[in-house]
A and B are shown apart, each in its own frame.
Chain A
Amino acid sequence: MAVDNDTVRRIAFLSRLRVEPDKLEDTKQEFNKILAWVEELGEVNTDNVEPLVSVNNESLLLREDDVTAGHISQEVLANAPAKEYGYFVVPKVVE
């Protein structure tokens, strides 16, 4: 699969990355080289093979749904780029 500039633009948008227009061509070419390489994997016969996404065979452990932490709003806010009255300050999202 070779991708065009529009696809690169769309994927960059999905990644929430701004790609400068003059970098678009380079990004596309590099991206296509890497894709061409990983595409070799398609030649491996994987019929009847179950995908492995985690080496831990055990199912994830469950725990009681109890409150075990809290009252740490100062810690939570400690690294906020902008905060006021004990809240994060974020760009306006509702018109």
Chain B
Amino acid sequence: MTDLTDLTIKDSLTKLKAKEISPVDLTDAYIKKMQNNSKYNAYVTTTTEQALAQAKVAEQHYMNGTNRPLEGIALGIKDLFCTKGIRTTACSHIIDNFVPQYESTVTQNLLNDGALFLGKLNLDEFAMGGSNETSCFGPVVNPWSKEVKLVAGGSSGGSAAAVAAKMCAAATGTDTGGSIRFPCSITGLVGVKPTYGLCSRWGCVAFASSLDTPGPIARTVDDAALLLSVMAGHDPKDSTSAPNAKFDIDGELKPVLGDGKTLRVGVIKEFNSVQISEDMKNLFEKRIADLKSMGAEIVEVSIPNILDALAAYYIIAPAEASSNLARYDGMRYGLRVDGTDLIDTYKKTRATGFGDEVKRRMIIGTAVLSSESYDVYFMQAARVRRMIADSFNRAFEMCDLIVCPSGAGTAMPLDSDLSPLEYYALDLFTVAMNLAGVPAVSTPAGMAENELPLGIQVVGRRFDDMRVLQLAKHIQQFSGVDNRPTVIMGK
């Protein structure tokens, strides 16, 4: 018998509707994978009993024909989304006992459409990191690892590992500077950073509010599009939610290439000078050639300050974070470490509760917002941000969509012991899209020589998420990535 966890969400739904499979068996199959794959440290909290109870309800719904769009689909939730009655930690010691009394909008949308949750997934503390090594629950291991343990990327490393190792059908993630796209690129998955404002941030633990973007992580572009259609929507509870936020999909994603269709695909000139692995270079060229062979017109576009995006990001994101994380004062929820007086209690609580990377960013953020530095650092970064956003607009006059690498190479080993600046450089290809608020999808591009997956991004105009996904689907079809790492591992 085939393994039920090999089914895509689309195929699972077809078989569930035809009553060929039962949601209880399907959920059970994922739970078995969770038990067998605990070595990847993807889940920090499991809710399997609740999931099984929901699966039984789903079974009833299929029986009496009241099944909803995602009825009985088992998902993993990044532990940054507040889930009512289920511990939500942001993988930080400072709130590792926090039990939300409310449900985030995105997870509520998924629940309303019949999805069930297998548990909460590991991430870098407060989503600050690119390797999932800053979590207070320890690092996530990439399921593609062979002899040497590899990172799963970050910050949504637990989400990527869980989907790659079939410990859930798909997962939620959040992307502030690449936190969905980068982990997906090194685990052979599809990761969607939608247009800023498409998915509500309400109930997501905040990192950098003007950049934080919830989105789906899935095995196929069609699955990701289906999830996005459920997650997206206007939310009055999020003041930055777009009034017209909506992503509707009817069946499969339609092709944007072939049958004489014309599409102008842009390649960013400035990225040519960035050093990337030979594999990434070759695969990128191959996929461009594939798109060309289907009739795409390849045009070179310029985003003049895109290489300055990284420094701008590492001013803006810590600045917003230092203000967002001021709320963790040990008074109303979370950890409290008593001191000699109130100020001492604050300082001890925060020094004990936050990890090193979070403290580092607090210090940077506080410094760039201090009165003497505000204009030199923060406002200068915000001006560069405007230039980058404007450049994207100009580039999209020359082309319909842009493609570029998601990262420089394949997954690096755990405990690589890079300096903070070397870690920050991992975000080079991804941060500009957050600064500009444009949609970007990382999709598998192919396999490197070392038999590890690599991803490339498709980027579009704001609210052109549909075409971004449509082109990503073409690229995934060319990639030939078998996103079943357990097969590769010879098990």
Chain B residue at smallest Cβ distance from A34: B364
Please indicate the chain A residues that have their CB under 8 angstroms from the CB of B329 in the complex. Answer: 16
For the complex, would chain B's binding face be called helix, strand, loop or mixed by DSSP majority? helix
Chain B 368-392 near chain A by CB (<8 Å), digits 1 or 0: 1010010011011111111101000
Within A25-52, which residues are at the interface with B (CB < 8 Å)?
27, 30-31, 33-35, 37-38, 40-42, 44, 46, 49-52
Q: How far is the CB of B467 from chain A (nearest CB, A)?
A: 19
Q: How large is the interface on A (under 10, 10 to 19, 20 to 34, 35 or more residues)?
A: 35 or more
Q: Which residues of B contact A14 (CB under 8 A)?
A: 366, 370
B363 touches A27 (CB 8 A): yes
* Alpha-carbon distance between A55 and B99 when the two chains are bound, in angstroms: 32
**Is A63 within 8 A of B236, CB to CB?**
yes
Q: Taking A42-B376, A49-B387, A90-B342 as contacts, is the C-beta distance between A79 and B197 under 8 angstroms?
A: no
Contact A44–B384 (Cβ < 8 Å): yes
Task: Find the B residue at minimum CB distance from A90.
Answer: B331
Confirm or deny: B239 has a beta carbon within 8 angstroms of a beta carbon on chain A: yes
**For B420, what are the chain A residues with a Cβ–Cβ distance below 8 Å?**
30, 33-34
Compute the total of residue contacts between A and B using a CB distance below 8 Å.
159
A44 and B351 contacting across the interface, CB-CB below 8 Å: no
B249 within 8 A of A: no
Partner of A91 from the list B345, B347, B384 (CB cut-off 8 Å) is B345
Is B271 part of the binding interface, using a Cβ–Cβ cutoff of 8 Å?
no
* Residue from B197, B329, B367 whose CB has the most chain A CB atoms within 10 Å: B367
How would residues 91 to 102 of chain B score, 1 for a CB under 8 Å from any chain A CB and 0 otherwise?
A: 000000111011
Is A2 interfacial (CB 8 A cutoff)? Answer: no
Chain B residues 290 to 337 lying within 8 A of chain A, measured CB to CB, are: 305, 308, 311-312, 314-315, 322, 326, 329-336
The answer to whether B336 and A82 have CB atoms under 8 Å apart is yes
Q: A17-B354, A78-B101 are in contact. Are A49 and B383 (CB under 8 A)?
A: yes
The CA-CA distance from A38 to B387 in the complex, in Å, is 17
Q: Which chain A residues in 47-91 approach chain B with CB under 8 Å?
A: 49-56, 58, 60-61, 63, 72, 75-76, 78-82, 88, 90-91
Question: Closest A-chain residue to B377, C-beta based?
Answer: A38
Is A17 in contact with B347, judged by CB distance below 8 angstroms?
yes
| A51-B347 contact, Cβ under 8 Å, with A17-B362, A81-B335 | no
State whether B197 touches A17 (Cβ < 8 A): no
* A42 contact set on B, CB distance < 8 A: 376, 380
CB of B331 within 8 A of CB of A81, answer yes
Cβ-based interface call for B359 (8 A): yes
CA distance A4 to B63 in the complex (A): 70
B310 to chain A, nearest CB (A): 9
B387 touches A50 (CB 8 A): no
Evaluate contact between B332 and A79: CB separation under 8 angstroms.
Answer: yes
On chain B, the residues within 8 Å of A18 by CB distance are 347-348, 350-351
Q: Which of A35, A40, A63, A79 has the most CB of B within 10 A?
A: A79
Residues of B within 8 A of A82 (CB): 336
CB of A58, distance to nearest CB on chain B (Å): 7
Known A14-B366, A33-B421: A79·B311 in contact at CB below 8 Å: no
B305 contacts which chain A residues (CB < 8 A)? 44
Report if B19 contacts A (CB, 8 A): no
A8 CB contact (under 8 Å) in B333, B350, B363, B387: B363
Q: How far is the CB of A84 from chain B (nearest CB, A)?
A: 14
Find chain B residues with CB under 8 A from A13 CB: 347
CB of B359 within 8 A of CB of A17, answer: yes
A residues with CB within 8 A of B: 1, 3, 8, 11-19, 27, 30-31, 33-35, 37-38, 40-42, 44, 46, 49-56, 58, 60-61, 63, 72, 75-76, 78-82, 88, 90-93
What are the nearest 3 A-B pairs in CB distance? A55-B437, A51-B382, A79-B333
24 interchain pairs, CB-CB under 8 A: A11-B363, A13-B347, A15-B350, A15-B363, A15-B365, A16-B326, A16-B350, A27-B363, A31-B360, A34-B360, A41-B381, A42-B376, A49-B383, A50-B383, A51-B385, A53-B382, A54-B240, A79-B332, A79-B334, A80-B333, A81-B334, A90-B331, A90-B342, A91-B345
4 other A-B residue contacts (CB within 8 Å) besides A38-B381, A49-B386, A53-B382: A35-B364, A40-B311, A55-B196, A61-B236
